[in-house]
Amino acid sequence: MRCPHCYCLEDKVVDSRIIKEGSGVRRRRECLNCGHRFTTYEGVITNELKVVKKSSQREDLDREKIRDGIEKACWKRPVNPVEIDRVVDGVVSSIEKDFDREVDSMEIGSRVMKALKGLDEVAYVRFASVYRQFKDIEQFIDEIRTLVPNHNDKNK
| Whole-number pLDDT of residue 53 | 92
Rg (CA), the chain: 21
Contact 124, 116 (CB under 8 A): yes
Q: Give all strands of the β-sheet with 50-52 in edge-to-edge order.
A: 58-60, 50-52, 102-104
pLDDT of residue 111: 94
List, for residues 60-109, the tens digit of each pLDDT value. 999 899 999 999 999 999 999 899 999 999 999 999 899 989 999 999 99
d(CA 121, CA 79): 11
Write out the H or E segment, with its range, that includes residue 63: helix 63-73
**CA 60 and chain centroid, separation:** 14
Interacting residues of 35 by C-beta distance below 8 A, sequence separation 6+: none
Higher pLDDT residue, 79 or 48?
Answer: 79
CA distance 10 to 2: 7
| pLDDT tens digit sequence for 132-144 | 777 777 776 777 7
- Asked whether 27 and 13 are in contact (CB, 8 A), the reply is yes
Query: Which three-class secondary structure state does DSSP give residue 60?
Result: strand
- Percentage, residues of the chain above pLDDT 90: 53
CA-to-CA distance for 63 and 52, rounded, in angstroms? 15
The per-residue pLDDT for 156 is 44
- Model confidence at 59, in pLDDT bands (50, 70, 90)? very high
- Average pLDDT for the chain: 86
Number of neighbours of residue 56 by Cβ within 10 angstroms: 6
Structure confidence at residue 117 as a pLDDT band (50, 70, 90): confident
The domain ranges of the chain are 11-43, 50-154
